[in-house]
């Protein structure tokens, strides 16, 4: 059997180069080696308040970006999570085998909870829903950025616990990180992860940002008190700029050292900006072409959901049977 890949991105805020280098760009590269499913996880997005009209728009925008980046809809399935009800159904079934203590340890929950005045229960259950996304399709590989590793570990723990309570049911998924770019940092603050929800200009380069804006954001990036690149002593800002360049270019460590040692920060930033623009511009052009016909994205999403429904429903059926939940004819 061909191994299966599954991953997801939340339709909250603007996709940025961290999402691309940590996840989406990697999916495009590996998609044809696997049976691939890529989800737009709208049920995850609403764990914090989203304006309904913006959410609706974002879901389509992200589907357009997936296609523009090179996800091949003839081969890979692009699925809006909420259009396959089995995601939510399995999440409940898994909630019942997940100890609260496991969820209390999640660092992303702790960070998000600390930033909110009042926390919805959905935010707490978030990793169980993510486990359901993965286990629903018996995915073997989950390509993500570094910040999701703990959630995938949890999905494995839940799968193991379920299997030991109710008998062999779930395949164990494995995390796949990109070699470079698994954790892109904020350009304004290289000690914090680049994130969709961070406010302010200068923090992130969004995938649909026009070239002059990309140039401006990167030229203003925080570096350190040095003036030229020194691979032994560089601070996190310079390391982050180099990671962005290396990840977009695919250069080896040796090539990076030879080319950038001693290069002044201003020049480094110029080269990072031009590399980023040269990678994003063709994608932006394709995005405009793809979204010129709004029904195209809807068609792809409909076909994606139809294609995965049988697998999703079969897993829920199996889980119910193993748990003793009522199923017709048994």
Binding site for ligand TRP (CB under 6 A): 6-10, 41, 44, 130, 133-134, 142, 144, 148, 151
Q: What is the DSSP string of 221-254?
A: ----S-SB--TTT--HHHHHHHHHHHHHH---HH
Binding partner of residue 196 among ligand AMP, ligand TRP, none, CB cut-off 5 to 8 Å per kind: ligand AMP
| Closest residue by beta carbon to ligand TRP | 8
The question of whether 193 is a catalytic residue gets the answer yes
- In angstroms, what is the C-alpha Rg of the chain? 21
User: What sign for the dihedral angle of Cα 179, 154, 193, 63?
Assistant: positive
314 Cβ contact list (under 8 Å, min separation 6): none
With tokens 């990697």, the residue in question is 26
CB nearer to ligand AMP: give 17 or 316: 17
Catalytic one of 74, 196, 269, 270? 196
The question of whether 269 is a catalytic residue gets the answer no
β-pairing, 141-143 vs 174-176, is: parallel
What is the Cα–Cα distance from 172 to 160, expressed in whole angstroms? 8
* # residues contacting ligand AMP (CB under 6 A): 17
Q: Describe the strand order of the beta sheet including 4-9 as a list of residue ranges.
A: 77-80, 35-40, 4-9, 141-143, 174-176
Among the listed residues 3, 70, 103, 147, the single contact to ligand AMP using CB under 6 A: 147
Binding partner of residue 193 among ligand AMP, ligand TRP, none, CB cut-off 5 to 8 Å per kind: ligand AMP
* Closest of 111, 101, 9, 110 to residue 64, by C-alpha: 9
CB nearer to ligand AMP: give 81 or 98: 81
* Min CB(129)–ligand TRP separation in Å: 7
The question of whether 196 is a catalytic residue gets the answer yes
CB nearer to ligand TRP: give 44 or 269: 44
CB nearer to ligand TRP: give 62 or 277: 62
Helix (H) or strand (E) holding 75: none
Catalytic one of 112, 269, 270, 320? 112
**Segment 269-298, which members bind ligand AMP (CB under 6 A)?**
none
Two structure tokens written together for 277: 């623009």
* Min CB(81)–ligand TRP separation in Å: 7
Helix (H) or strand (E) holding 81: none
Binding mask 172-201 for ligand AMP (x = CB under 6 A): ----------xxx--------xx-x-----
CB nearer to ligand TRP: give 121 or 232: 121
CB nearer to ligand TRP: give 40 or 273: 40
What is the Cα–Cα distance from 312 to 91, expressed in whole angstroms? 12
Beta-bridge partners for 141: 5, 174
* Min CB(322)–ligand AMP separation in Å: 30
* Closest of 247, 300, 250 to residue 65, by C-alpha: 300
10 near ligand AMP, judged by CB under 6 A = yes
Chain residues in the site for ligand AMP (CB under 6 A): 9-10, 18-19, 21-23, 144-145, 147-148, 182-184, 193-194, 196
């Amino acid at each position: 059997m061909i191994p299966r890949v599954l991953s997801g991105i939340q339709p909250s805020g603007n996709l940025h180069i961290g999402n691309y280098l940590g996840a989406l760009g990697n999916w495009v590269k590996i998609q044809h080696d696997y049976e691939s499913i890529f989800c737009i996880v709208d049920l995850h997005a609403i764990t914090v308040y989203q304006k309904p009209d913006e959410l609706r728009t974002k879901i389509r925008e992200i589907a357009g970006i997936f296609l523009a980046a090179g996800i091949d809809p003839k081969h890979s399935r692009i699925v809006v999570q909420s259009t396959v009800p089995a995601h939510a159904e399995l999440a409940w079934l898994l909630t019942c085998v997940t100890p609260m203590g496991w969820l209390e340890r999640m660092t992303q929950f702790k960070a998000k909870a600390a930033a909110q005045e009042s926390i919805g229960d959905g935010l707490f259950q978030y990793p169980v829903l993510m486990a359901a996304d993965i286990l629903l399709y018996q995915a073997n590989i989950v390509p993500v950025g570094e910040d999701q590793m703990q959630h995938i570990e949890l999905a494995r723990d839940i799968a193991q616990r379920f299997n030991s309570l109710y008998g062999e049911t779930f395949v164990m998924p494995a995390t796949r990180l990109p070699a470079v770019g698994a954790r892109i940092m904020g350009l304004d603050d290289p000690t914090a992860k680049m994130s969709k929800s961070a406010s302010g200009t200068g923090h992130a380069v969004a995938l649909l940002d026009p070239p002059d804006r990309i140039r401006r954001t990167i030229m203003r990036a925080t570096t350190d008190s040095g003036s030229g690149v020194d691979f032994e002593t560089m601070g996190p800002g310079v390391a982050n700029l180099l990671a962005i360049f290396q990840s977009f270019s695919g250069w080896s460590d040796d090539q990076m050292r030879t080319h950038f040692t001693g290069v002044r920060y201003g020049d480094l930033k110029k080269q990072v900006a031009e590399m980023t623009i040269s990678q994003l511009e063709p994608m932006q052009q394709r995005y405009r072409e793809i979204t010129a016909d709004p029904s195209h994205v809807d068609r792809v999403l409909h076909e994606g959901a139809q294609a995965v429904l049988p697998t999703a429903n079969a897993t829920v059926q199996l889980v119910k049977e193993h748990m003793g939940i009522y199923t017709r004819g048994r």
